[in-house]
Chains A and B, each alone.
Chain A
Amino acid sequence: MEKDVAVIGVGQSSFVRGYEGSIRELAFEAFREAMQDAGITQKDVDASVFCSAPEYDKQRSPAGVLAEYLGLIPQPTFYVETVCSSSSTGVKVGYSMIKSGLHDIVVVVGFQKMSEITSAESQERMGRGADIQWEAPFGTMMPAYYAMYAQAYMAKNGLTHDDLRDVRLKSATYGTTNERAVYRKGVKAADFDPNNPEAKMAGPVAWPLRVGDCCANADGSSCIILANKEKAKALSKKPIWIIGIGAASEAVNMAARPEFAKGLSVGYKAAEQAYKMAGITARDVKVAEVHDCFTIAEVMAYEGLGFAPMGEGKQLIREKATYKEGRIPVNVDGGLLSKGHPIGATGGSQMRTIVLQLRGEAGPMQVAGDPGIGLVHNVGGVGLYGNVTIFGR
């Protein structure tokens, strides 16, 4: 397997509601941690890439502003966007910049201050998250799109509401152990019981998805520092190599989508490329972070990544195979559901978790067995963009 580009530093802010600071201060939190982790100074950095979903930013063209605040001028900087997978795409771009030989060390920062705009403005933008010409006029929102995937999937594959609830219970279990998570409270099965008047997770949002099936908005930042082989070996005691990258896109309009019961096409297409590049199969992956913006998305990801055969993702949840002690631990940092989903920061945060796992530095979240290969699955929009990145030691 290829070992040309490594991660030498990772950082993440706490994911919170209503961050008490500006976007430049938010970005700095992840950057500071990643720079201290890598043990380098700004003089060592050749270029920076900034990633967010721009509809939440009041600052036009944030890359230059943030690069200045982080002390990364006059090096080149620019902005990358693929909605919820922006920072995975940013890492793919950073990888390419290094692999091409243009630069030795590249900093990729993902950030999102969702609370930068009012909740009414936010709701309006949510409605425009997909095809604004042909779908938004019907009153669509993100949960409604994923609910349509859930409906078709549940009808065909026998997945139940209890299975979806159990995905959330798993995420919540690990959310309680992650001090950077926005949702640190535990969740009980009774919280999903429609006959329980106190059940805060049971209310319908877009049926069949309930409140507890949806991830939490948050403010947050992430930072991944990439280096070429020579710099990585000179600077880092535990470089974690990017050994596989896959990415795909899909039609925005639901009318142009392949069979809904099969899940998001970008997931399995990106996975196929990444496995091929790494020269491995799903069985070789020992720990994974998948894009669980909704509970159904995690089950579909199990299949798209080959952790379970098509239609059988529910078995992994029923057998607790994706718990920390299971065959293939998934989202043991709380996932988007409990850790939170600050759109532009999410991919970098998932990568940070996997890098810490492969270094054996994940603290209370550390999986057993000294994992050597980990995977990040990060989706933008309703399966509009898909990124799979595989890491090895």
Chain B
Amino acid sequence: MGFEKFGRKSFTAVTKTGKFVDLLIEGKVEGTVCKKCGAKFFPPRADCATCLSKEMDWFEMPKKGTLETFTTAYYAPFGFEADPPYTMGVVDFDGGLKLFARLAKEIKPEDVKVGMGVTIRPLKYEDGQVSFEISKA
């Protein structure tokens, strides 16, 4: 329970990584790390893909990254019609972790560049949904 609060609109109600939403409400964007082998995952996983362990801890995602790529959507799927245009992108952190999210509204599409320094922060929508977004470093 609880995962339906994730994102603009969630398609998943139940997941063992539901704590992700509680952490977002606390202001933290966290991934999971395997207690056995130390493999790190974002988005979070309940099971380790490397050593098959199910003993996972949470860790806070790095703050500084670069924008590897992005797109500005002028059309949206059903349920998101009020949102366009919005920009989404992939952040590359040093150490092999990456993250996909929308970019903060205050960044103008024409100012977004591949390779620019960015950070991530939690986000709360007016309707109570919670998410995270990419903002300027």
A residues with a Cβ closer than 8 A to B are 120-121, 123-124, 126-128, 131-141, 143-144, 147-152, 155-156, 203-209, 253-257, 259-261
Complex contacts, A205 vs chain B, CB 8 Å = 73-75
Contact status of A137 and B43, CB under 8 A, knowing A132-B11, A151-B69: no
Q: Which B residues from 66 to 99 make CB contacts under 8 A with A?
A: 68-80, 83, 86, 88-90, 97-99
Contact A135 B100 (CB under 8 A): yes
Which residue of chain A is the closest to B17 with respect to CB atoms?
A: A133
> What's the nearest-Cβ distance from chain B to residue A250, in Å?
14
Q: Which B residues from 93 to 137 make CB contacts under 8 A with A?
A: 97-102, 109, 114-115, 131
Contact A155 B115 (CB under 8 A): yes
Q: A135 to B90: give the CA distance in the assembly, Å.
A: 11
Contact mask for chain B residues 1-30; partner A; CB cutoff 8 A; 1 contact, 0 none: 001001111111001000000000000000
Q: A288 to B75: give the CA distance in the assembly, Å.
A: 32
Q: How large is the interface on B (under 10, 10 to 19, 20 to 34, 35 or more residues)?
A: 35 or more
**Known contacts A137-B8, A255-B98, then 13 further A-B pairs from the complex at CB < 8 Å, ordered by chain A residue:** A124-B77, A126-B77, A127-B76, A128-B11, A136-B77, A138-B100, A138-B131, A139-B76, A144-B71, A148-B70, A207-B109, A255-B42, A255-B97
Complex contacts, A156 vs chain B, CB 8 Å = 114
Contact A148 B43 (CB under 8 A): no
Complex contacts, A149 vs chain B, CB 8 Å = 69
Which residue of chain B is the closest to A129 with respect to CB atoms?
A: B77
User: Given A128, A138, A143, A144, which contacts B7 in the complex, CB threshold below 8 Å?
Assistant: A138
Q: A254 to B73: give the CA distance in the assembly, Å.
A: 16
B residues with a Cβ closer than 8 A to A are 3, 6-12, 15, 42-43, 68-80, 83, 86, 88-90, 97-102, 109, 114-115, 131
Complex contacts, B131 vs chain A, CB 8 Å = 137-138
Q: A121 to B79: give the CA distance in the assembly, Å.
A: 11
> What's the nearest-Cβ distance from chain B to residue A310, in Å?
17
Complex contacts, A135 vs chain B, CB 8 Å = 100
Q: A136 to B3: give the CA distance in the assembly, Å.
A: 13
Contact B98 A134 (CB under 8 A): no
Contact status of A134 and B43, CB under 8 A, knowing A155-B114, A255-B100: yes
Complex contacts, B12 vs chain A, CB 8 Å = 132-133
> What's the nearest-Cβ distance from chain B to residue A8, in Å?
42
Contact B43 A138 (CB under 8 A): no
Q: Looking at B12, B77, B109, which has the most chain A CB atoms within 10 Å of its CB?
A: B77
Complex contacts, B90 vs chain A, CB 8 Å = 148, 254-255, 257, 260
Which 6 residue pairs spanning A and B have beta carbons closest together?
A: A137-B7, A127-B77, A147-B71, A124-B78, A152-B69, A139-B80
Contact B72 A207 (CB under 8 A): yes
Contact B8 A133 (CB under 8 A): no
Complex contacts, A138 vs chain B, CB 8 Å = 7-8, 88, 100-102, 131
Q: A139 to B102: give the CA distance in the assembly, Å.
A: 9
Q: A132 to B43: give the CA distance in the assembly, Å.
A: 12
Which residue of chain B is the closest to A134 with respect to CB atoms?
A: B43
Q: A207 to B30: give the CA distance in the assembly, Å.
A: 29
Contact B6 A137 (CB under 8 A): yes
User: Given B11, B15, B76, B78, which contacts A137 in the complex, CB threshold below 8 Å?
Assistant: B11
Some 26 contacts from A to B, beta carbons below 8 A apart, are A123-B78, A128-B11, A128-B77, A133-B3, A133-B43, A134-B100, A136-B7, A138-B7, A138-B8, A139-B9, A139-B80, A139-B102, A141-B76, A148-B89, A149-B69, A150-B71, A151-B70, A151-B71, A151-B114, A152-B68, A152-B114, A155-B114, A204-B72, A207-B74, A207-B109, A259-B68
Q: Looking at B42, B76, B78, B131, which has the most chain A CB atoms within 10 Å of its CB?
A: B78
Which residue of chain A is the closest to B102 with respect to CB atoms?
A: A138
Q: A74 to B100: give the CA distance in the assembly, Å.
A: 48
Complex contacts, B98 vs chain A, CB 8 Å = 254-257
Complex contacts, A206 vs chain B, CB 8 Å = 71-75
Which residue of chain B is the closest to A258 with respect to CB atoms?
A: B98
User: Given A134, A141, A254, A259, which contacts B77 in the complex, CB threshold below 8 Å?
Assistant: A141
Complex contacts, A140 vs chain B, CB 8 Å = 77, 88
Contact A148 B78 (CB under 8 A): no
Which residue of chain A is the closest to B79 with respect to CB atoms?
A: A124
User: Given A127, A152, A204, A255, which contacts B43 in the complex, CB threshold below 8 Å?
Assistant: A255
Which residue of chain B is the closest to A151 with respect to CB atoms?
A: B69
Contact B75 A141 (CB under 8 A): yes
Complex contacts, A259 vs chain B, CB 8 Å = 68
Contact B100 A254 (CB under 8 A): yes
Complex contacts, B43 vs chain A, CB 8 Å = 131, 133-134, 253, 255
Q: A255 to B40: give the CA distance in the assembly, Å.
A: 12
> What's the nearest-Cβ distance from chain B to residue A181, in Å?
24
Contact A133 B89 (CB under 8 A): no
Complex contacts, A147 vs chain B, CB 8 Å = 71
Contact status of A141 and B73, CB under 8 A, knowing A133-B43, A254-B98: yes
